[in-house]
Structure 1
Amino acid sequence: MNVFEAVKQNVTTRQAAELYGIRVGRNGMAVCPFHNDKNPSMKLDRRFHCFGCQADGDAVDFVSRLFGLPSKEAAMKIADDFGISYDSRQKPSIRPKIREPTPEQKYQQEENHCYKVLSDYFHLLRKWEKQYAPQRTDEVWHPLFVEALQKKSYIEYLLDILLYDTPEEKKALVAEQRKEVMKLEQRIAGHTAEHDRGRSQRKSGLDR
């Protein structure tokens, strides 16, 4: 199986776009990275189509345009990044050089990263609100339950700005929240690691 067949059978355009930092809404719409798009006008699924600039194609076409690569090198990049095996005879001996992202693409990646961290934190807050809700009226409230009550609405407000407000307002928010996003990312990672350790310990206790 050559690299094009392997990629087309295993990766949708939406999967590739999300891996490379494009934020896709639940409805499959995203801000088009190929023109000055102010509102989501690109539909991503197995293929992609922009209703603004008419860009259209499959995952290989998308990555080719996104990184300025020839089609074959774009297909190889997807296969390598997704860990897809294919006929090695299709591979050249020299790895293709990827074009440096433009300032706009770098900002878009930062905005997508900001959205992902805030979204992950928002889901944690919702989880804590349910998990640590007091069961009795005289019970002392858990600190994570208190945090969920205090922060959930504010984080939801920030996410709404990143989804629906003007590019200028989004840029201001990303710059303003840069340090906080870094702290939240470290905290979420620590919480996830702690949760995984606890689950592993519970599992080993059951296995004894």
Structure 2
Amino acid sequence: MNLFYGGYSMNLFQNVKYGVNCREAAERYGVSINRQGKALCPFHNDRHPSLYVADDHFYCFACGAHGDVIDFAANFFDLPLYEAAQRLAADFGVDANQPPTKEVLEKRRQKAEAQQLMENERLCVSVLSDYARVLRSWKMQYALQSPAEAPDERFEEACHKLDEAEYYLDILAFGDSYERAEVVNYLLVDGRLDKLKEKINGRDAA
């Protein structure tokens, strides 16, 4: 059964979303995207790459533009959503009357999961790198000046946690996919990564 949105068949919207990769569409329309998925945003006067483009969505951290591949084309070409979907279908050879197969849907799901893991890995590496830098600073700044001196909590934390942070960074850099996923899952559970961010921002350093 075909569903309709504003008088238009929803098959077109669904098939374009599943059949057209947002990153590939952006690059085809002239947006240069780096290996981290960042680009200069075409929706405002962007001097530093603030647009993040994934396979199934985009988001600008500066102007707030966001959405799926159809939203991207609509904003890029200043078109209504239906006309944007039509253009994408024509440019990428998508058949509006041919729904995606189970194989296509499963491949898309696996790709989305893999991309989410990559994004989580990048976040963990970024936070852990900053945390390790803070710990190294604490280890030098708050080192004991005499045996009789009571150790500062930050110095103790640096002594206990620096090796662990560097160990996790090594796994994220050189480990296999299973090892990296284990570290990411460990850091994301129970707000561990958020607590590290607080320490980095100084709220937990006093």
TM-score by length of 2: 0.48
TM-score by length of 1: 0.48
Larger radius of gyration: 2
